[in-house]
Amino acid sequence: MREPAPIGPKVLAGKSLNILLSHAHLDHTAGLTFLLEILSNHPLEQIQIWGESDKLAAVREHLFHPLIFPAPLDACWNPIDNAAEFVIGETKISWRHQDHPGGSAAYRLEWPNGKRLVYSTDTTGDSSRECVAWSRHADLLMHECYFRNEASDWAQKTGHRWTDRVAEIATLNTPKKLLLTHVNPLEHASDPVQSDLIRERIDAEILIAEDGQEIDF
């Protein structure tokens, strides 16, 4: 019987890894514990984790508490609280606070060739002129879309957006490509988030995120 291929090289390239943490809720951080297995067959020279200091502290104190997980993660934890902008390699990164229980951060990444990526998840959204000026015209907007319109009440209670609100934000932001992320993993419909309702309103390529996906933009 053939041995299954190790997972490390499939999910990681290069010798270093930078993780931009939106917040510390478990659905965004539990995956950090899986890194240990991946690192065992694909060692890295450096792991850098960026995020607000209270979120980093919560992950280190609770997720990596010996009662919850057996080994600490050997990473460099970088608080971003005092840096509206910072640089990783040639990538310029800025971030904004978002409204969400406990707070979350949206990130904007810009490369020297002018390409721009905005990552925004876990928030009811900010349609202010200031926020739209910060996030608009992205080549790739990675945006949560967990709740269908029928569940908009539940979305607002838990600090999330729903399909029509995503369409509204996307219409204001005019991205070239929109990747709908943070979709419900238990939803197996081919269009779990009514993305056609968003397509009707914006002239952008719209994709629904899948595990292991690589995106050109």
Q: Residues in contact with Zn ion, total (CB under 5 A)?
A: 3
From 32-40, 51-59, 115-123, 126-134, give the range in contact with Zn ion by CB under 5 A.
115-123
Interface pick for Zn ion out of 20, 32, 59, 122 (rule CB under 5 A): 122
From 83-91, 119-127, 133-141, 183-191, give the range in contact with Zn ion by CB under 5 A.
119-127
Closer residue to Zn ion, CB minimum distance, 27 or 61: 27
Q: How far is the CB of 58 from Zn ion (least distance, A)?
A: 12
Interface pick for Zn ion out of 27, 153, 196, 205 (rule CB under 5 A): 27
**Per-residue contact flags (x/-) with Zn ion for residues 7 to 26, judged by CB under 5 A:** ------------------x-
| Three-state DSSP string of the chain | CCCCCCCHHHHCCCCEEEEECCCCCHHHHHHHHHHHHHHHHCCCCEEEEEECHHHHHHHHHHHCCCCCCCCCCCCEEEECCCCCEEEECCEEEEEEEECCCCCEEEEEEECCCCCEEEEECCCCCCCCHHHHHHHCCCCEEEEECCECHHHHHHHHHCCCCEHHHHHHHHHHHCCCEEEEECCCCCCCCCCCCCHHHHHCCCCCEEEECCCCCCCCC
Closer residue to Zn ion, CB minimum distance, 42 or 143: 143
Strand partners, 88: 91
Interaction of residue 209 with Zn ion, rule CB under 5 A? no
**Per-residue contact flags (x/-) with Zn ion for residues 59 to 88, judged by CB under 5 A:** ------------------------------
Q: How far is the CB of 2 from Zn ion (least distance, A)?
A: 37
Interacting residues with Zn ion (CB under 5 A): 25, 27, 122
